[in-house]
A and B are shown apart, each in its own frame.
Chain A
């Protein structure tokens, strides 16, 4: 959340506010931490990358004359002898949403300077992310064992494998990077770096709990992308 009061400025709400913020001959995103603005711009560019993947998937799937594999059969798991469609994917979705919720609470407790709660919630988020990546590894190995390759598969159109590995792989890579940073920030919060105003190793600037919100933005974005992958790749 932006800081809504800035000394010497009257910040107007709504579109009037947008016009005066943009035309103020000064910083445009008023009350927004520079790191947060940069994270948003990075996420915007990342949105375009993922959009390109999903659009090329649409184009590939739409233009093949061979039938597309039935995803609810391909991604089913057997519980006993009964195949349950998309079971693993559903669990992965719930795990990721859970971790998104804990992250949102971590941001809130961070701003309230509740160091312990913030730290535990970031740790919970990291564990959720790790669980997600673990299940994705299981899913990949299962499909590879069944003969899915980037150039072909036993279930249908050959393009299926390349889109699957590309899209879920790129998303899983994002999750993995996020997990690494979540563990780093768990340490930073528990060690009290924001209370002692310890300088960061990279920017050499004094940290603040706004960094937790920036981390949260990245993590929620990973969840956001999964919403689209879940809808278009697994359910469609």
Chain B
């Protein structure tokens, strides 16, 4: 009796939880390797200036997106969870914006008082 109960429970579970095909994980894995290799090449060839920064950011966001979407399954999750997780990131974006203004002001003050010598 208990055995049958266990059986029916397992089959029920298997029906409920869908697993993805192994291919998709292997593809994402390969892509992450390739993207990491590319971002290492940015340093290897010593790209400078805007090209360096934009390439670094591009590869970084692509890698982060792939990890979150497929390895962490967010692509398959319900929107209620996805939105609760992603919207708070705008607060971080605001903080980055504020601190950018702040470091520019600090840098200006240091130049003005330490290098130029004040008014």
Contact = CB atoms under 8 A, between A and B. Distances in A.
Contacts of B83: 18
B66 to A, nearest CB: 10
A86 B42 CA distance: 11
B88 interface: yes
Contact of A97 (B36, B52, B99, B102): B36
B59 A101 contact: no
Contacts of A231: 39, 56-57, 59-60
A117 to B, nearest CB: 11
A15 B79 CA distance: 6
Interface in B9-62: 10, 14-20, 22, 25-26, 28-29, 32-33, 36, 39-40, 42-44, 46, 52-53, 56-57, 59-60
Contacts of A111: 17, 19
A18 B87 CA distance: 14
Interface in B89-103: 89, 92, 95-96, 99-100, 102-103
Given A21-B78, A104-B29, A55 B18 contact: no
B77 interface: yes
Given A55-B99, A235-B42, A228 B60 contact: yes
A18 to B, nearest CB: 4
A5 B12 CA distance: 11
A216 B67 CA distance: 11
Given A97-B33, A108-B19, A72 B43 contact: yes
A217 B107 CA distance: 39
A52 B98 CA distance: 12
Contacts of A29: 78, 80-81, 84
B7 interface: no
A2 B95 contact: no
B96 A94 contact: no
Given A85-B44, A101-B26, A231-B56, 16 more contacts: A17-B79, A18-B80, A21-B80, A29-B80, A32-B81, A37-B81, A63-B103, A65-B115, A72-B46, A85-B43, A104-B28, A104-B70, A108-B25, A227-B64, A234-B43, A235-B39
